[in-house]
Structure 1
Amino acid sequence: MMASVYAGRTAVTGIGTSIPPYKLQQDEVFERIAESCRDDLDIMRWARRIFRQCGVETRYTCEPEFLEPAGKCRYLPDRPGMPVPSTAHRMNTYERESVPLAVHAAREAMADAGIGPANVTHLITVSCTGQFLPGLDSMLVQELGLPWRVNRIPLVFQGCHAGLKAVQLARTIAESQADYKVLIVCVELCTIHFQPPTSRETLFGASFFGDGASACIVETAADGQEHVFRLGQGHAVLVPDSREEMIWRVGDRGFDLYLSPDIPKRLKSFLREEAEMLLGKRSLPSLWAIHPGGRGIIDAVREMFALEESQVSYSRNVLKNFGNLSSATILFVLKEMKSELARQEIDRADGISLAFGPGLTAELMAFTYLSKAEAVQSAGSEGAYV
């Protein structure tokens, strides 16, 4: 029997998410942006266009200042020359706010998988919006009561694709020994890097990024375990001659982001070939977990593979309700998908997950949703599964 590209022995058995308490309505954010750049008609025009087209209605932030008028928000001063928060200030905010969000998401994921902290053998932490030491991984060991000897693996400053990269790494770890249980925790506080709207580039970040955390458990799926994503084959690709398309650098006033408007076009130039390499001669799956890096990216993938609107609805809903949460976003999408498939009482469906980040880097991974996990037998020495 041909080995399945979709369903290996390990699975995502539990997913958790968390968001900060402050809700940003897109029209209200635009009003604050407009107040901040009212004397620059070109920026105002671009802001109106970007905010209307990005596909976001609400987002969340850990910073209550964004609920204030522009003149009272240090991140969006209403006149030139006003001081804005330094990188050190933003990192202090990150250290204070990231841990509670990460803890909440991790506890929810463990509860969803039905395991306790003592069962976790590996901890992968993912973030690109802040750093401190002792790091998030050390804090989570203490806050969650994980074993002191848990294997800690931080993935730092990799960008939006790192959440799916962590899942691929966790799959490899969990496949190496049947009793390994990997906890992945992604936390991103994107809004603390908002910059005064002085260019189109700063408007992109202000228009669709939000804050939040997500977590999941990757382990050998037990027979009868409910609502799991069995993890199949996957790979990553670095796209040649595209390193200037997405840039994320540390600046004096936070991290400076540049996103090229040509990214959807670049995806169309290589993604079909990568999907064909992953799937071989198999037909396209029904489930698509796409990282919603923006409305244009979702549209590009839908058009490229002639997908139905229902197939990209999970990604659109996450973008609409939470914005782009960088590395944490892909688990929000899988949670949305899991909930809807359970509601529809779907027994089994194959899928593919896609995430994109600086490089340009694309992560691709096949999976199978099962309402109840089945026992899987090894099929040969190369680690393939039937």
Structure 2
Amino acid sequence: MMPTPSPSASMYFRGVGTATPPARYTKAECLDAFQKSEWFARLDARAHFVARTVLQRDNGIEARRLAVDALAEVFQIDPNTLAKRFLAHAPKLAASAGQRALVQSGLHAGDIDAVVVSTCTGYLCPGLSGYVVELLGLRADVQAYDLVGQGCAAALPNLQLSRALLTGSTCVHVLSICVEVSSAAMYLDNDPGVLISACLFGDGAGAAVVSRQCQPVGRRIAWTDSTSLINPAERPALMFEQRDGMLRNILSRAVPGLAADHAHRVLNTVLGRAGLGTADVSAWIMHAGGRDVLLALERELGLGPRDLRYSAAMLHEYGNLSSAFVYFVLEAALNDAAPDGWWWLSSFGAGFSCHGALLKVSA
């Protein structure tokens, strides 16, 4: 008999939804567009080599969804164009994912008591939450929160806040949304980290309806425990900086090792409190920064490729979706009828930060 953690309050996933722009671009198409762009001539031979290496070798990514009608638009890189792209697509993607989560939950817009929206690829004031309230027709008295600046790790802090709202207020149902328009945070120069990140990230949104009450039918997905680890000393390894009025991604070679180490420490903390071991986890819902990150996670956690198959599959088809990614992985595991039991949900990113949550899934 499996030991059971004793959470102070329960949070259940009632519905999960995802959304992406319709345009799908393969890495071969991205390389061709880059070589035809004006930017190709602006960058040096080493930059050409880095881009070709990433986009031609097996890097775990085959395609990405980008919020542009043609790849040539990606190379229109100026503050006004990028800001307009974020405003045009982030609210719609967030609302689309939220609507799908609502439908799956069996609830209506009027049932939602709070909405929490995370992003790091653009800035709006009023924030994205107001657009989501408008597009989904949420109540005028809904509690609305915008979280920014947490990078790829943001899904778990978003859900941790959602749980706090369910525990400490009158909220019964909360809508959690992460949305990233990475094509609105494009930056190019000769730095290898900048070029690699430009080749990895895609656009998309993920959402979950979480509640005090579980689904009346189907699977029960209960949030039982979680923890976080934030290490400011490693902040320079992975972060955005403002340059020329735009966001420039800093991506270092240390990231795979940092991700694996921090993920292991967070996992051990929560599993230790529950009296569980790695072998007790039946499904792994992990953020995937890239193929090298997945390989580092396998080594550090003692896992095999099959354990991280959902993360690898989502990375292959969508690229790194930043904060939205783990919703896609969770949806893939549910659609594949992954075995009941203990599921591990984890995200990591800028900060350097890492978060993990233990879920109990049952029929």
- The TM-score, its normalising length taken from structure 1, stands at 0.86
Match of residue 276 from structure 2: 282
Distance 2:327 2:7 in 1: 18
Aligned residues between the structures: 354
Aligned pair in 2 of structure 1 residues 40, 20: CA closer, same or farther (>3 Å)? Answer: same
Taking the TM superposition and a 5 Å limit, the aligned residue runs for 1:1-386 are: 3-4=4-5, 9-36=10-37, 37=40, 40-51=44-55, 52-66=57-71, 68=72, 73=73, 75-76=74-75, 84-176=76-168, 180-222=172-214, 224-239=216-231, 241-252=233-244, 254-280=246-272, 281-284=275-278, 285-341=281-337, 346=339, 348-371=340-363
Q: CA RMSD in A?
A: 2.2
Deviations 1:296-341 (A, max 9, x none): 1111111112213221010001101111111111111100111111
Distance 1:164 1:179 in 2: 19
Distance 2:70 2:359 in 1: 41
**Tell me, which stretches of 5 or more residues in structure 1 are unaligned?**
77-83, 372-386
Aligned pair in 2 of structure 1 residues 268, 326: CA closer, same or farther (>3 Å)? Answer: closer
| Displacement after TM superposition at 1:31 (Å) | 2.0
Distance 2:6 2:69 in 1: 45
Distance 2:27 2:131 in 1: 33
Distance 1:43 1:154 in 2: 36
Aligned pair in 2 of structure 1 residues 265, 109: CA closer, same or farther (>3 Å)? Answer: same
Q: Answer 1 or 2: which has greater helix percent.
A: 2
Distance 2:332 2:163 in 1: 21
Deviations 1:333-379 (A, max 9, x none): 100111111xx6x4x221111111111000111112223xxxxxxxx
Distance 2:172 2:143 in 1: 11
| Displacement after TM superposition at 1:6 (Å) | 8.6
- The TM-score, its normalising length taken from structure 2, stands at 0.91
| Displacement after TM superposition at 1:199 (Å) | 2.4
SS of the counterpart of 2:95? Answer: helix
SS of the counterpart of 1:335? Answer: helix
Q: Is contact 1:50–1:204 with CA below 8 Å preserved after alignment?
A: yes
**Tell me, which stretches of 5 or more residues in structure 2 are unaligned?**
none
Distance 1:308 1:178 in 2: 43
| AA in 2 matched with 1:167 | L
Aligned pair in 2 of structure 1 residues 273, 125: CA closer, same or farther (>3 Å)? Answer: closer
Q: Is contact 1:185–1:213 with CA below 8 Å preserved after alignment?
A: yes
SS of the counterpart of 1:64? Answer: coil
